């Protein structure tokens, strides 16, 4: 009996050993997410603790990226460890690292804690458009739309496409300059003149719904 208890105790220790041995700040060559405890400071003033700098893999511009596990966030830092681009968007084919012309999106919180989005250049991680917009769409065909005081709605539950509604909109060129100022559509006209759209909530996804046309064969 004693022998069996010792065996079970040994197996239990063996099972939890990898968890205890897991490095919260793994070297780039090993891969893995970092713990928020690997950084010091808050918000835009965060930096990698000096003792972990040698674990990063620098590109030719002297920049490195890390993924923080909780809350999950992709960051870009310079050689001093300072976070230069926080909250990098990397959830789709049009975002970093596959963004058109290497222009990705990122988000920061303003003084009131409200998220604001902007754009950066991959590689150098230089800010192309300051984070001053409420919604930012990815660059496609050499342009991107962004807006203030607006809402972004998905076209379907998987959000393969989205539309900006309300507020004040701009069309941005790849160099970050405003190519055109415009008024985004409202819920009253985004589906066409005289046709009001509705919004359906699917979990955290808000989907814009346009009623079928009067002569649509799919109209019930």
Q: Which residues are CB-contacts of 202 (< 8 A; sequence separation ≥ 6)?
A: 157
Per-residue pLDDT tens digits for 83-102: 999 999 997 778 999 999 99
Would you state the pLDDT for residue 214?
56
How would you classify residue 203: left for phi > 0, otherwise alpha for psi between -120 and 50, otherwise beta?
Answer: left
Cα gap 59→132, rounded to integer Å: 28
Q: Where are the beta strands (DSSP E) in 122-184?
A: 126-133, 135-136, 144-148, 151-154, 162-165, 168-172, 178-182
Phi, psi angle pair for 204, to nearest 5°: -90, 0
Cα gap 39→42, rounded to integer Å: 9
Cα gap 80→85, rounded to integer Å: 14
Per-residue pLDDT tens digits for 34-66: 999 999 998 779 999 999 999 999 999 999 999
Angle at 107 between CA 101 and CA 112, to 5 degrees: 150
Give the residue among 28, 30, 34, 44 at the shortest CA–CA distance from 69.
34
Q: What is the CA radius of gyration of the chain?
A: 23
Would you state the pLDDT for residue 159?
87
DSSP letter for 164, please: E
Would you state the pLDDT for residue 213?
66
> For the chain, what percentages of helix, strand and coil (3-state, to nearest 5) are there?
15, 35, 45
Which residue reads 């511009």 in tokens? 61
Would you state the pLDDT for residue 44?
76
DSSP letter for 203, please: T
Which residue reads 């069309």 in tokens? 171
Burial (0-12, 13-18, 19+ Cβ within 10 Å), 18:
exposed
Would you state the pLDDT for residue 22?
75
Give the residue among 111, 51, 114, 49 at the shortest CA–CA distance from 83.
49
Q: What is the 3-state secondary structure (H, E, C) of 95-145?
A: CCCCCHHHEEEEEEECCCCCEEEEEEECCCCEEEEEEEECEECCCECCEEE
Would you state the pLDDT for residue 211?
87
Give me the residues of the chain with pLDDT under 50, please.
1-20, 216-220
């Amino acid at each position: 009996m004693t022998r069996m208890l010792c065996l079970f105790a040994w197996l239990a220790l063996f099972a939890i050993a990898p968890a205890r041995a897991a490095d919260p700040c793994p070297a780039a060559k090993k891969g893995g997410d970092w713990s928020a405890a690997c950084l010091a400071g808050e918000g835009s003033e965060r930096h990698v603790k000096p003792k972990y700098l040698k674990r990063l893999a620098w590109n030719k511009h002297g920049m490195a990226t890390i993924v923080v596990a909780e809350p999950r966030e992709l960051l870009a830092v310079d050689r001093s460890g300072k976070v230069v681009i926080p909250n990098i968007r990397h959830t789709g084919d049009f975002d970093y690292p596959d963004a058109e012309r290497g222009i990705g999106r990122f988000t920061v919180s303003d003084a009131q804690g409200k998220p604001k989005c902007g754009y950066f250049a991959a590689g150098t991680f230089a800010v192309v458009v300051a984070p001053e917009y409420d919604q930012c769409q990815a660059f496609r065909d050499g342009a991107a739309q962004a807006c203030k005081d607006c809402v972004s709605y998905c076209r379907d539950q998987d959000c393969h496409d989205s539309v900006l509604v309300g507020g004040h909109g701009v069309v941005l060129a790849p160099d970050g300059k405003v190519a055109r100022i415009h008024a985004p559509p409202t819920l009253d006209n985004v589906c066409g003149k005289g046709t009001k759209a509705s919004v359906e909530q699917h979990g955290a996804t808000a989907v814009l719904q346009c009623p079928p046309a009067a002569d649509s064969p799919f109209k019930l």
